[in-house]
Structure 1
Amino acid sequence: MSAINVLVVEDEDAIREMLSLVLEQADFSVRAVADGHQAQLALHELIPDLILLDWMLPGLSGVEWARRLKKDKQYGEIPIIMITARGEEEDKIRGLDVGADDYVTKPFSPRELMARIKAVLRRSNKHGKGGRIEIGGIVLDIDEHRVSIADSHVLLSPTEYRLLEFFLTHPDKVYSRSQLLDQVWGRSSFIEERTVDVHIRRLRKILAEYDREEVIQTVRGFGYRFSESL
């Protein structure tokens, strides 16, 4: 199974480096950034299994970014552990109220942090059960973020993967370009609808290498549908 992806959002260099080291030693795949803007960009490249988020960040606070994230359909289910120097009960409640899954107060030991991470991942089922979908000869392994056809690994960009994952989990239904933008890119994304057409063409071209391009069908005047039935 592939490594668990963790996004660390912490503005203090020393703490960010320490967190990265601890997580990498535990065989996690780590992306570490210093603020909410960089974190949002990181999400466009890869959706993590867990976010470690500092309470106080420059510009947009960690609490406010978490609140926005939890309202986003695309990212709302990503578990979040808040990291902060605040220890008062009222602040802990505030962090959990915005949707954080747990809360750890500085200073903390690596052992405590890893215990909290494992507990949150178990509760969220991000690393507890397998998920496998197969339609039209296309196999999607949700846990490993892996797509294969005829036992061959299919190389996809993060956007192509999210698009194919959405289609595979919502087969035989027609979706407009606007709906696909909301579901795959997120409501907060300022992307033109024709971008959907571009990625559909790219995905079809990749699937054509395995004679599977016809599963993504154009429904004239409406949008697109994923179906193994022509």
Structure 2
Amino acid sequence: MYNDTNHPKILIVEDDVHINNIIYDVLRKEKFQCTQAYSGSEGIMNVTHHEYQLIILDLMLPGFSGEDFMHRLRIELSSDTPVIVLSAKDKLDNKLNLFKLGAADYVTKPFEVEELLARVNVHVKRTSRTDSATRYRHKNLLLDSGTMNASVNQADLKLTRQEYKILELLLKNPTRVFTKQDLYELAWEDIYIGEDKTITVHISNIRNKIKRVDEEAYIDTIWGIGFRLAP
């Protein structure tokens, strides 16, 4: 199961508007969330500020090439997001070079949308299996339970242990409203004795750390009851 409160997100980096729109329409019909970019620089800007489960990348781009995009993605951003490359270049050397740069797949233009969709589904499922054990995503927030690390727009939130546990509880149960007692007993693994300020302060700290890198709301206060993940 894919631990995401939204549908998987895919970035399409293709300067041909017609092809970009065709891919977008096909993927949207399959319930994927898609972002369209029309240059290498625009694509990198999106990756810098958002988390994606898959990138579809054309090689011949204005600004800088698909190869440059791959280098920046893997080396400068240290991103392991799988990339499906689209290119009219069908020589083996070109394909091998892209695989060395970290491409997950290679589709030669012109292509059938059914083939591209099949490849997209394979890579999204593969990413889902990897993520399901340790990662939880919501909006631009990524939680890694293996490392107990939380980031928004790839910026480390530097949460304390209890702050992390509170946020993890909310992401694992996106529709549940937690009382202060719930959060205290689950995050601290201790008996709640009515210390309201402890939870309130920790929630405030989490919100402030997120607000430094994202204006989106991530935690809702349900007055008189408690807290839940903001939809």
TM-score normalised over the length of structure 1: 0.59
Q: Which amino acid aligns with 1:163?
A: D
Q: Which residue of 1 aligns with 2:212?
A: none
Q: Partner amino acid for 2:69?
A: W
Classify 1:6/1:88 alpha carbon distance in 2 versus 1 (closer, same or farther; 3 Å).
same
Q: Aligned match of 1:6 in 5, 10, 24?
A: 10
Partner letter of residue 117 of structure 2?
A: M
Pick one of 121, 132, 136 that aligns with 1:142. 136
Query: 1:210 Cα shift?
Result: 3.7
Distance 1:95 1:168 in 2: 40
Deviations 1:31-52 (A, max 9, x none): 1111011112212331211110
RMSD: 3.3
Query: Of residues 125, 128, 135 in structure 2, which corresponds to 1:126?
Result: 128
Using the TM superposition, give the Cα deviation of residue 117 of structure 1 relative to its aligned residue in structure 2, in angstroms: 1.3
**Runs of 5+ in structure 1 lacking a partner?**
133-140, 148-156, 173-207, 217-230
Deviation digits for residues 128-171 of structure 1 (CA, Å, limit 9, x no counterpart): 65256xxxxxxxx6144587xxxxxxxxx944x8433x6479x9
What residue identity is the alignment partner of 2:116?
L
By how many angstroms is 1:214 displaced? Answer: 8.3
Q: Give the Cα separation in 2 of the matches to 1:94 and 1:112.
A: 22
- When residues 158 and 214 of structure 1 are mapped into structure 2, their CA distance, relative to the original with a 3 A threshold, is closer
Q: Distance in 2 between matches of 1:131 and 1:4?
A: 16
Alignment gaps of 5+ in structure 2:
142-150, 165-197, 207-231
Partner of 1:97: 100
Matched, 1:56 2:60: yes
Q: Greater relative contact order (Cα 8 A, min sep 6): structure 1 or 2? A: 2
Instruction: Find the counterpart in structure 2 of residue 71 from structure 1.
Output: 75
Match of 1:185 in 2: none
Structure of greater Rg: 2
Amino acid across the alignment from 1:87: D
1:130–1:143 CA contact under 8 A, matched in 2: no
Is the 8 Å Cα contact of residues 55 and 62 (structure 1) preserved in structure 2?
yes
- Change in 2 beyond 3 A, CA 1:99/1:129: closer
Q: Residue 115 and residue 213 in structure 1: after superposition, are their counterparts in 2 closer, same or farther (change >3 A)?
A: same
Identity %: 26
